[in-house]
Structure 1
Amino acid sequence: MKIVVTGGAGFLGSRLIEALLSPAASDLVPGLSGILSVDLAPCPVQDPRVESVIGDVADPAFITPLIDADTALVYHLAAVVSGQAEADFDLGMRVNLDATRVLLEACRHRARTPKLVFASSLAVFGGELPERVPEDLAPLPQSSYGAQKAMAELLINDYSRKGFIDGRVCRLPTISVRPGKPNAAASSFASGIIREPLAGEPSNCPVPLDTRLWLSSPNTVIANLVHAARLEGAALGLRRTLNLPGISVRVSQMLDSLARVGGDAARVLVGHEPDERVQRIVCSWPGDFDIERPLRLGFHVDEDFDAVVRAHQRFMTTQ
C-alpha cells in the first residue's frame, strides 16, 4: 500500500514525507510500500521509498492513474499561496479548486476508499469575527485564496458523506517560523520578521504591531497532519473540518520574543513599512480560536512563541 502527497516537493510536503517515513508513523499504513510525491519539481527527500512524479495536479490525465488500488492515504497539500492566488485569480482557481476536484474524482472511482487529508487554511474566515472563533462559525472568506479553500472544504465533506473518500480537512494556522526564503504568501512576513533578523538580515513588518495572528510552528503542524490521518472517521462525525491548534500572538509580542531570544541587535533589524495589499488579506483573518475539540481529539499545540523562536534558532544551527 502507498501514500500519495501532492505538493511533496514543497517545504511542508517534504517535511511531511520525512515524518511519514519515520517509525513513529508506521501505524498509518501497515505494509507501506512507498510514498509518491506529486509536484512540479522532484521531492528533496532522498529515500528509496520516495518516488517523485512531476506534472500538473489539475490535469485529470496526469492525476487519475496515480490514484490506484494500492493508494491507502492521500495528503493534498498542493496549492497556490494567498498573495499569488489574489493576484492571479485564474491560477488560484485552477490549482486550489479545480485540482482538488480532479483529485477527488480520481479517488472516487477506485474500489478502495482512501483516507484523504486536505490542508486548508484559517483564511476561510473573515468579515465580522468574534474575539475567539468557535468551532461551528461559518466561513466568510475575504480573499480568493480563502474562497477557494472553503469551496474545496465543501467538496471534501460531500465526497466523505457519499463514501467516496474518508476525508479530514485541516485548517492550518499561519506557520512560523518557516526556514528558507520568503514566498508569495501574504503571511510570509510572519516568518521573515523572525528568520531574517536571527540571520543578521533586515526585515519589514507590513501590518500594524497590534495585529493578532494564529500561529503554529512547522514541527507542530507536521505532527498534527500525521495525527489527522491516524484518527478514525467516526471520531469526526459529520463535521470533517478541524481548526488546528495554534497560539494567539500579537505582532508586537512576536518581536518581544525575537528580542528575548535573539537580543536587541536582532530586534532593531525589523522595520515597519505598511503594505495595504498584505494588510487587506492578513487583517481579515481571525487571531484566536476555540480549540477544545481538536485538543480533545489528540492534536498538539506549541508551548508559546518564545519556544517557537528557540526551536527555529536550534534548527538553523544544524543546517
Structure 2
Amino acid sequence: MKVLIIGGGGLIGQKLAKSLAGRGTLRGQPISELVLADVIDATTVDAPFAVTTKTCDISDPASVATIIDESTDVIYLLAAVVSAHAEEDFDFGYKINVDGTRNVLERCRTLGTKPVVVFTSSIAVFGGEVPQPFTDDSALNPQISYGVQKAIGEMLLNDYTRKGFVQGRGFRLPTISVRPGKPNRAASGFMSSIFREPLQGLPANCPVDRDFPHFYLSPRKCVENLIKGAELDQADLGPRPSMTMPGRVWTIGQMIDAMTAVAGPEPAKLITWNPQPEIEHILDGWRMDIRPEKAAKLGLTADDSFEDNIRIFLEDDIDA
C-alpha cells in the first residue's frame, strides 16, 4: 500500500502522516511507502515503512506526474490556497485549487489505476440565499472565490469517480481549531489565534462578537476522519461522494467559556475585540447551521465539546 499526501508539509498533512506511521496500515493493508509532497520540502516522519519527501507544483502536470505513478494506491489531496489568500489573488487561487485538482485527477485517469482519492473541500461552498440548516442535500452556493474553487473541485471529483477513473471521496472540512503554529492566510485564522496565543500568554484579536456562531473540528478529529474516509467502501458513498465532515456549531462566546473552564480566567483577558474590515465581507456569510448527516452515518465523528478542542491543543500542540 503506497500512500501519497499532497500538502504533506502542512498542519493536517503532517498530523496525518504521523498517524499513519503509528497505525502502519490503511484499508486493511500494510503501508509500504508514504510520500509527502508539497511545494516546499516537507518534514519527514519516523515510520516502520519508507517515507519519501518530494517537491511538487500541482499546477504543473509534469510535476504532478513525478509524484503519482502506477504503484500509488491512496492519494490525499490536501493542498490548497486558502480563503483570504484566494480572495486576494484570484489567478493563483484558480491555478492551484482548480487547475491543480484537475491535474491530479487527470494523472490518475491517464494511468488507469483507479486509486482512492481523498479530497478536502470546505464549508465555504455553502452560503448566500440557500435556506439553513445546510445539509448534504443543500445547493452549493459559495460567496467567495475559494468556495467557488472548492465547489468546482467537488464536481470534478464526483465526475471522475462516476466515470471510474478514481475512487473519490470529498470532505468539506469544518474550521479546524485550535490550530498550532503560525497563522495561515485563512479568514478563519482568528478562530484559532484567540485561543492559541492567550493559552501561551500572548494577546490576540477577535474581529466578531461573542454571539458569532461557526462550525468547528479539532485537528485530531479531522485526521481520524480522513483515515476513516479513505477506508470507506465506494458503494457506501453513493452517486455523490462529496459530503460535509462532522463538526459542531458553537458561538465565539461558548468557545471562550470552554477555554476558561479548562485553563482558568486569565487567557480570556488577553483577547481584544476590534473589527477587521479586510475580512468582514467574508465573515458576513459564515453564520452557518450545518448538519453533516451523511458522514455521521458512515462513522465519521465530531468532538464532544470545545473543552475537548482546548485539551487536545494543550496535549498535542502547545509546544508547537
- Determine the structure 2 residue equivalent to 1:32: 31
Q: Distance in 2 between matches of 1:314 and 1:61?
A: 41
CA-to-partner distance for each residue in 1:245-281, whole Å, 9 max, x for gaps? 0010011111111222222211110001111332321
Would the aligned equivalents of 2:21 and 2:45 in 1 still touch at CA under 8 Å?
no
Output the CA distance in 2 between the equivalents of 1:161 and 1:286.
Answer: 33
Which digits, 9 at most, give the CA deviation of each residue in 1:269-305, with x for residues without a partner?
A: 0001111332321331352222332111010110111
Deviation string, structure 1 residues 12-33 (Cα, Å, up to 9, x no partner): 111111112222x614262432
Aligned to 1:287: 288
Q: Which residue in the other structure is 1:22 paired with?
A: 22
Give 1:132 deviation, angstroms.
Answer: 2.0
Q: Which moved more, 1:251-260 or 1:134-143?
A: 251-260
| 1:90-149 CA distance string (max 9 Å, x none) | 111111111001111000011311010001000001102434212200111011100000
Alignment partner, residue 105 of structure 1: 106
Whole-angstrom CA distance in 2 between matches of 1:105 and 1:131: 35
Pairing 1:129-148 to 2, within 5 Å after superposition: 129-148=130-149
Q: For the residues of structure 2 that align with 1:20 and 1:42, how far apart are their CA atoms?
A: 19
- What residue identity is the alignment partner of 1:93? Y
Rounded to whole Å, the distance in 2 between the matches of 1:97 and 1:292 is: 27
Residue type of the partner of 1:2? K
What corresponds to 2:125 in structure 1? Answer: 124
Structure 2 unaligned blocks of 5 or more: none
> The residue matched to 2:266 in structure 1 has which SS?
helix
Give the distance between the partners of 1:19 and 1:283, measured in 2 at CA. 36
Question: What is aligned with 1:10?
Answer: 10
Do the aligned residues in 2 keep the contact of 1:93 with 1:148 (CA within 8 Å)? yes
Identical columns (%): 41
Q: Distance in 2 between matches of 1:116 and 1:14?
A: 18
For residue 5 of structure 1, what is the amino acid of its counterpart?
I
Matched with 1:43 is 42
Indicate the residue corresponding to 1:171 in structure 2.
172
Which amino acid is the alignment partner of residue 182 of structure 1? P
Size of the alignment, in residue pairs? 318
CA distance in 2 between partners of 1:93 and 1:150 (Å): 12
Would you say the 8 A contact 2:130–2:141 is kept in 1? no
1:316 CA displacement: 4.3
Could you tell me how far 1:49 is from its partner in structure 2? Answer: 1.8
Q: Following the alignment from structure 1 to structure 2, what is the Cα–Cα distance between the partners of residues 193 and 234?
A: 41
Letter in 2 for 1:36: V
- CA offsets per residue over residues 41-84 of structure 1, 9 Å max, x none? 22223336211111311111111232211011100001111110
Rate the CA distance shift 1:89–1:318 in 2: closer, same or farther, 3 A: closer
Question: Could you say what secondary structure the match of 1:201 adopts?
Answer: coil
Asked whether the 8 Å contact 1:207–1:278 carries over to 2, the reply is: no
Quote the Cα distance in structure 1 between the aligned partners of 2:140 and 2:318.
Answer: 40
- In the superposition, the TM-score normalised over structure 2's length comes to 0.95
Contact 1:122 1:285 in 2 (8 A): no
Unaligned runs of 5+ in 1: none
Q: Is the 8 A contact 2:75 2:115 kept in 1?
A: yes
Answer with 254-263 or 195-204: which moved more. Answer: 254-263
Worse-superposed segment, 267-276 or 26-35: 26-35
